[in-house]
Amino acid sequence: MDLRRSIKVFFDAANRHDLHEMEDLFTESAEFYFPKTQPLVGKKRVLRFFGILFRQYPELTFHVLMTITERDKAAVHWTNKGANRKGAAYENEGVTILRFENGKISFISDFFKDTGKF
């Protein structure tokens, strides 16, 4: 699967909160770096994080604005919008850096700003 297709599959699965499909997208030793958290190493820990995120934000949709790829790496600029489990509106903008090994995500790191506060 080419990088752009893999990225689309990842964000589509995230928009559906589909952890089962997301499981197939990561290497066993995937690393995830998310602001204000300790690094998460291993597919199970990464998926556990996404499960918590989706429970905290049951309404959360990403819109990909731009994707830049180079060999086995990608930078994806996105916006998202939704509501947390208490119903409070949420929106943000950020960039996700991805690295792939054999077509699967081996590294993911998010950088974002809280645009909802402005």
The per-residue pLDDT for range 5-46, each reduced to its tens digit, is 999 999 999 999 999 999 999 999 999 999 989 999 999 999
pTM greater than 0.85: yes
Q: Which domains, and CATH codes, for the chain?
A: 3-117 (3.10.450.50)
DSSP 8-state class, residue 39:
-
According to the model, what pLDDT value does residue 118 have? 42
**Model confidence at 113: pLDDT above 90:** no
Query: Please, how many CA atoms are within 13 Å of residue 113, restricted to the half-sphere of its CB?
Result: 4
Task: Label the pairing between strands 40-41 and 26-33.
Answer: antiparallel
Instruction: With CA atoms as reference, report the closest residue to 92 among 101, 81, 84.
Output: 81
* Reported confidence tier of residue 117, pLDDT bands at 50, 70, 90: low
Residues, the chain: 118
Q: How far apart are the first and last CA of the chain?
A: 39
**Model confidence at 116: pLDDT above 80:** no
